[in-house]
Amino acid sequence: MKYEQLVKLIIEKIGGKENVNSVVHCTTRLRFKLKDEQKADTDFLKNADGIVTVVQSGGQYQVVIGNHVSDVYAEIVKQTGLSEQTEAGNVDNGGSVLDKAIDLISGIFAPTLGLLASTGMIKGFLAIFTTFGWLATDSGTYIILNALGDSFFYFLPIMLAYTASKKFKVNPFLGMVIGATLVYPTISAMAPLTMMASDATPLYTLFSGTIFESPIYITFLGIPVIMMNYTSSVIPIILAIWLTSKVEPFFKKLIPDVVKTFLVPFCAALVVVPLTFLVIGPLSTWLGTAIGAGSLAVYHFSPILAGVILGGLWQVLVVFGLHWGLVPVALLNLTTLGFDPILVLTGAASFAQIGAVLGVTLRTKNKKTKGLGISAFISGIFGVTEPAIYGITLPRKKPFIASCIASAIAGGIMGFAGTKTYMVGGIGIFSIPSKISPAGIDGGFYGCLIAMAVAIVLGLVLTLIMDKSHLDEDVTPATQTHVSDVVKAETIGSPLVGTVKELSGISDEVFASGAMGNGVAILPTDGKLYAPTDGEISLVFPTGHAVGMKTTAGAEILMHIGMDTVQLDGQFFETHIEKGARVTKGTLLVTFDIEQIKAAGYELVTPIIVTNTSEYATVKAMADGDVKVGEAIIDVV
Average pLDDT over residues 513-532: 88
Average pLDDT over residues 368-376: 77
Tell me which residue of 286, 176, 287, 291 sits closest to 241, measured CA to CA.
Answer: 176
β-bridge partners, 621: 634
Q: Residue 58 has what pLDDT?
A: 62
CATH number, residue 617: 2.70.70.10
Q: Residue 568 has what pLDDT?
A: 83
Tell me which residue of 430, 468, 437 sits closest to 452, measured CA to CA.
Answer: 430
Tell me which residue of 138, 26, 109 sits closest to 424, measured CA to CA.
Answer: 109
Statement: residue 429 has pLDDT above 80? yes
Q: How far apart are CA 205 and CA 189, in angstroms?
A: 18
Is residue 446 included in any domain, yes or no?
yes
Is residue 123 included in any domain, yes or no?
no
Statement: residue 386 has pLDDT above 80? no
Is residue 143 included in any domain, yes or no?
no
Average pLDDT over residues 545-560: 89
Report in angstroms the alpha-carbon separations of 42 from 11, 34, 422, 551, 586.
Answer: 12, 13, 41, 20, 29
Is residue 602 included in any domain, yes or no?
yes
Average pLDDT over residues 250-266: 90
Q: How far apart are CA 353 and CA 345, in angstroms?
A: 15
Q: Under DSSP, is residue 540 helix (H, G, I), strand (E, B) or coil?
A: strand
Burial (0-12, 13-18, 19+ Cβ within 10 Å), 100: middle
Range of the domain at 20: 4-95
Answer yes or no: do 348 and 432 share one domain: yes
Q: How far apart are CA 47 and CA 32, in angstroms?
A: 18
- Lowest-confidence pick of 185-189, 310-314, 417-421, 505-509: 505-509
Residue 534 makes CB contacts below 8 A (sequence gap 6+) with 551, 552, 583, 584, 585
Q: How far apart are CA 563 and CA 585, in angstroms?
A: 25
Query: Residue 144: which H helix or E strand, with range?
Result: helix 140-154
Residue 185 makes CB contacts below 8 A (sequence gap 6+) with none
222-232 per-position pLDDT tens digit: 899 888 888 88
Q: Residue 91 has what pLDDT?
A: 40
* Domain end among 46, 62, 95: 95
Q: How far apart are CA 456 and CA 432, in angstroms?
A: 15
* Domain end among 244, 270, 292: 292
Q: How far apart are CA 217 and CA 165, in angstroms?
A: 31
Report in angstroms the alpha-carbon separations of 94 from 181, 315, 510.
Answer: 35, 26, 34
Is residue 259 included in any domain, yes or no?
yes
Q: How far is CA 519 from the centre of its chain?
A: 28
- Lowest-confidence pick of 43-57, 166-180, 193-207, 402-416: 193-207
Answer yes or no: do 505 and 412 share one domain: no
Q: How far is CA 334 from the centre of its chain?
A: 23
Average pLDDT over residues 566-582: 87
pLDDT band at 447 (very low <50, low <70, confident <90, very high): very high
pLDDT band at 193 (very low <50, low <70, confident <90, very high): low
Answer yes or no: do 442 and 419 share one domain: yes
Provide DSSP, 245-301. Answer: HHHHHHHHHHS-GGGHHHHHHHHHHHHHHHHIIIIIHHHHHHHHHHHHHHHHHHHHH
Answer yes or no: do 287 and 317 share one domain: no
Statement: residue 504 has pLDDT above 60? yes
Q: Are 551 and 567 in contact (CB under 8 A)?
A: no
Answer yes or no: do 317 and 429 share one domain: yes
Answer yes or no: do 445 and 549 share one domain: no
**pLDDT > 90: percent of the chain:** 29
Statement: residue 475 has pLDDT above 60? no
Statement: residue 630 has pLDDT above 70? yes
Answer yes or no: do 308 and 454 share one domain: yes
* Domain end among 248, 267, 292: 292
Q: Which of 365-374, 388-397, 592-601 reaches the highest mean pLDDT?
A: 592-601
Side-chain half-sphere CA neighbours of 76 within 13 A: 31
Answer yes or no: do 373 and 506 share one domain: no
Active site positions, annotated: 26, 560
Is residue 138 included in any domain, yes or no?
no
Average pLDDT over residues 604-621: 85
Q: Are 28 and 67 in contact (CB under 8 A)?
A: yes
User: How many structural domains comprise the chain?
Assistant: 4
Q: Residue 516 has what pLDDT?
A: 74
Statement: residue 474 has pLDDT above 70? no
| Higher per-residue pLDDT: 160 or 363 | 160
Answer yes or no: do 457 and 516 share one domain: no
Answer yes or no: do 220 and 283 share one domain: yes
| Higher per-residue pLDDT: 274 or 29 | 274
- Lowest-confidence pick of 117-121, 166-170, 460-464: 117-121
Tell me which residue of 26, 201, 184, 172 sits closest to 87, measured CA to CA.
Answer: 172
- Lowest-confidence pick of 22-31, 32-41, 470-479, 579-588: 470-479
Q: How far apart are CA 533 and CA 10, in angstroms?
A: 30
β-bridge partners, 20: 34
Average pLDDT over residues 58-70: 77
pLDDT band at 274 (very low <50, low <70, confident <90, very high): very high
Q: How far is CA 376 from the centre of its chain?
A: 15
Is residue 572 included in any domain, yes or no?
yes
- Lowest-confidence pick of 40-54, 321-335, 466-480, 606-620: 466-480
Answer yes or no: do 167 and 220 share one domain: yes
Q: Under DSSP, is residue 24 helix (H, G, I), strand (E, B) or coil?
A: strand
Provide DSSP, 152-186. Answer: HHHTHHHHHHHHHHHHHT--HHHHHHHHHHHT-HH
Report in angstroms the alpha-carbon separations of 566 from 15, 48, 362.
Answer: 19, 11, 36
pLDDT band at 486 (very low <50, low <70, confident <90, very high): very low
394-408 per-position pLDDT tens digit: 777 889 899 999 999
Q: How far apart are CA 585 and CA 267, in angstroms?
A: 72
Q: Are 372 and 514 in contact (CB under 8 A)?
A: yes
Phi-psi group of 16: left, alpha or beta (phi > 0 → left; psi -120 to 50 → alpha; rest → beta):
left
Answer yes or no: do 310 and 459 share one domain: yes
Is residue 134 included in any domain, yes or no?
no
Q: How far apart are CA 269 and CA 284, in angstroms?
A: 19
Q: How far apart are CA 551 and CA 582, in angstroms?
A: 10
Average pLDDT over residues 551-559: 87
